[in-house]
Amino acid sequence: MDYLQGLNPEQQAAVKQINGPVMIIAGAGSGKTRVITFRVAHLIRNGVDAFNILVLTFTNKAAREMRERINHLVGPDAKNIWMGTFHSVFAKLLRVEADKIGYPNNFTIYDTDDSKSVLRAILKEMNLDDKLYSPNFVYSRISAAKNNLVSWQEYQKNEQIQADDFSSGRGQLGVIYQNYATRCYRAGAMDFDDLLFKTNELLKNYPEVLNKYQHKFKYLMVDEYQDTNFSQYLIVKRLAAVNENICVVGDDAQSIYAFRGANIQNILNFEKDYPDLKVFKLEQNYRSTQNIVNVANSIISNNKEQLKKNVFSEKEAGDKIKVMRAFSDNEEGKLVAESIMQERSTRGLKWHDFAILYRTNAQSRSMEEALRKMGTPYKIYGGLSFYQRKEIKDLIAYFRLTFNPSDEEALKRVINYPRRGIGDTTVDRIIVSADQHQITPFEVIINPSKYLDGRTSASVGAFATMIQSFQVITKTQTAYESALHIAQHSGLLKDLYEDKSVEGLNRYENIQELLNGIKEFSEREDIEERGLDVFMQDVALLTNDDKDNNANADTVSLMTIHSSKGLEFPQVYVVGLEENLFPSQMSLNSRTDLEEERRLFYVATTRAENKLTLSYATSRFKFGTLISCEPSRFLDEIDARYLDLDLTAKPVTGNDAFFSDERTAWSKGNDTFSKPKQPTVKTTSILAKAHVPSAGFAPSDTSNLQVGMDVEHERFGFGKVISLEGNKPDIKATIFFKEIGQKQLLLKFAKLRIIKIQ
């Protein structure tokens, strides 16, 4: 077993434990993927047939990397492992078994846009207010129901759900859910949630199917188990029930997807399902410096619900974690951009060595503006992906319709693109006629004279004939040959080519890039089936990490913390560490929600390899209004021994006593901040001595404020103007206040009362 010598003792023990239930608690940067890879290879080397191994991941990228590594260790047997995301693996299973639940084996997989398009049509037909019943809200409601295995029938019978819906004025949600499920079924389509919902239905209602896969998958491994929802949990539990050779890998400290339905209790309570469980803890962090690991540990130690572990690093101590204070969100962007420029220059780094992480997408604006001004190349992750571009979705809709003519959404998208004289009125007639005769819209258009008037039947019939010709082509041609034929003969390629605008050229090039990708797929040797239908399945199941077609560009990475999960960078900036932003305002009334926010902060800090910088602003624009901000309570939870406070930014108006001069709560004698911890209300020890404004306090006209004047601020108390700088209307006054020391205020927001003129 020489191949195991590169693992540390705890990793080796986890790999060698072949039989029975196993839980591997893998701290950040602890070599989790390496352990999973070696464990699968060890199973095969010890006589387990690769056909009997099921490995479930949360990204296709992770599955591909693992398969490549396993192939290196055990050879071509690796291709026989059932490995992939929950959705891709069980989509594959459903392709085999779908007929048992009334679906065609070539069912379409709807993405979020497709699902919302169906919902918009239903809302229109039901004459419902799309503000009260917004497609986003309805979609999330149905998604949550499916993730909790609540069918539309159960939804309508559940008294509590119905009471909640009616109390919110949304009493029709149950009917919308029913219509949506019916519409998808008629179109031979499943949305992403259905892939797991229908798998549960299949395993529950068809014992012979459950028995078949229980005996096929004798060994199960689940990566990122802390991110599983109820639906995923139940599938895994059912499949593992016979052999109980189940190994789950994860880290409760990195459970950050409750908004998607992830249930941290799945990993916290795993031992209750399997009393004979063997637990292995991977606690050595190979990614980050000691200081970064120590900071992360001090953060997560504040959570009550957790599986205890002692993560450590044997790397050098490294730089202390810098905390930067900014006057505003714009200045925060400027400080971060300047810091990146300086670090790149002095340390000889590349742009792609840097990442800026934020809590919400809206925070990217100030970062982008500052980076642009500095001439720094950057890329925002989580934006419009390649496969979400209109021209790509158009061509893929042709592919979808070719393989599944019942796909109503695909038909509506391309029946008149490029234009062929089939207007919206005709499309509406097709849909209505299909509803009336309980058939699919495609069955209407292949017999247009039977259902439509003569004016439109010719063009509609020609479109149907074209799609049928595509169906013939795909049976004999490769994926690339089929795709090129459809792109050319649909008229789509010609339409884009004739658009000579810059946008038109970009769209044409995107189609060429898609065709290039299909050609590469057609020539792959590591897969047995290379038809266009198989390529379509892969595209439908892409996760966010698979959709970036420019991953190797030398750019600074900007992304939300949620998007950064699983990534690592030499230098990381976590920005916007302010109360009501991070932690978010919505999390402050619930310990459970606040603990998830803290886990999110833990994930952010552990993305850094060599240097971590935290920043916050004392004021920020919100809905067009400049508001005062307080530093995040999470800063208060960090052991001060590992921090480097950057107080060079100008102290300004707002609740900024947190870092004020000599009186900072980070006094030299304390290891942690002295600010009291409260669940929802945050104050600092200095702000606790709040100034009581004088009777009749009213701000003065400060347009003629001069150095030497005595003033009163309703919060900071009495002080003297030391200096003035800047031009109207952005004049800043430096004032020495008796209680809290020197501060700099922007006059137009300061609300000062002039007491004495020198």
Which residue positions form the known binding site for ATP? 26-33
DSSP-assigned letters across all residues of 653-668: SSS-GGG-GGG-SS-T
Is residue 428 annotated as a catalytic residue, yes or no? no
Mention every residue, 6+ apart, whose C-beta is less than 8 A from residue 168. none
Is residue 244 annotated as a catalytic residue, yes or no? no
Instruction: Outline where DSSP puts E strands in 217-318.
Output: 219-222, 246-250, 278-282
Instruction: Outline where DSSP puts E strands in 327-462.
Output: 354-358, 378-380
Among 442, 487, 488, 437, residue whose Cα is nearest residue 465? 442
Of 607, 611, 620, 732, the catalytic one is 607
Please answer whether residues 645 and 664 qualify as being in contact, where contact means their C-beta atoms are separated by less than 8 angstroms.
yes
Is residue 748 annotated as a catalytic residue, yes or no? no
Residues within the annotated binding site? 26-33
Please answer whether residues 598 and 359 qualify as being in contact, where contact means their C-beta atoms are separated by less than 8 angstroms.
no
Q: What are phi and psi of 110, to 5 degrees?
A: -80, 135
Please answer whether residues 249 and 224 qualify as being in contact, where contact means their C-beta atoms are separated by less than 8 angstroms.
yes
Bridge partners, residue 580, by sequence = 584
Please answer whether residues 725 and 672 qualify as being in contact, where contact means their C-beta atoms are separated by less than 8 angstroms.
no
Is residue 33 annotated as a catalytic residue, yes or no? yes
Bridge partners, residue 717, by sequence = 713
Query: Residue 421 — left, alpha, or beta (φ > 0 → left; ψ -120 to 50 → alpha)?
Result: left
CA 547 to each of CA 168, 480, 540: distance values in angstroms, whole numbers, following the listed order: 37, 20, 11
Separation between Cα atoms, residue 74 and residue 86, nearest integer Å:
24
Please answer whether residues 510 and 389 qualify as being in contact, where contact means their C-beta atoms are separated by less than 8 angstroms.
yes
CA atoms within 13 A on the CB side of 47: 2
Strands 278-282 and 717-725 turn out to be unpaired
Is residue 265 annotated as a catalytic residue, yes or no? no
Please answer whether residues 150 and 158 qualify as being in contact, where contact means their C-beta atoms are separated by less than 8 angstroms.
yes
Of 97, 111, 194, 223, the catalytic one is 223
Q: What is the largest CA-CA distance in the chain?
A: 95
Q: What angle do CA 205, 208, 214 make, to 5 degrees?
A: 100
Radius of gyration (Cα) for the chain, nearest Å?
30
Q: What tokens were used for 143?
A: 């998604």
Show the DSSP H helices in 223-380 as ranges: 230-239, 265-268, 270-273, 290-300, 329-347, 364-373
Is residue 607 annotated as a catalytic residue, yes or no? yes
Of 224, 596, 636, 656, the catalytic one is 224
CA 17 to each of CA 11, 298, 437: distance values in angstroms, whole numbers, following the listed order: 10, 32, 59
Of 32, 325, 412, 620, the catalytic one is 32
- Reduce the DSSP state of residue 55 to 3 states and report it: strand
The verdict on whether omega for the bond into residue 275 sits within 30 degrees of 0, i.e. cis, is no
Bridge partners, residue 357, by sequence = 559, 574
Of 108, 172, 199, 254, the catalytic one is 254
Mention every residue, 6+ apart, whose C-beta is less than 8 A from residue 362. none
Token look-up 């309703």 returns 714
Of 33, 162, 265, 290, the catalytic one is 33
Separation between Cα atoms, residue 565 and residue 633, nearest integer Å:
22
The residues annotated as belonging to the active site are 32-33, 223-224, 254, 607
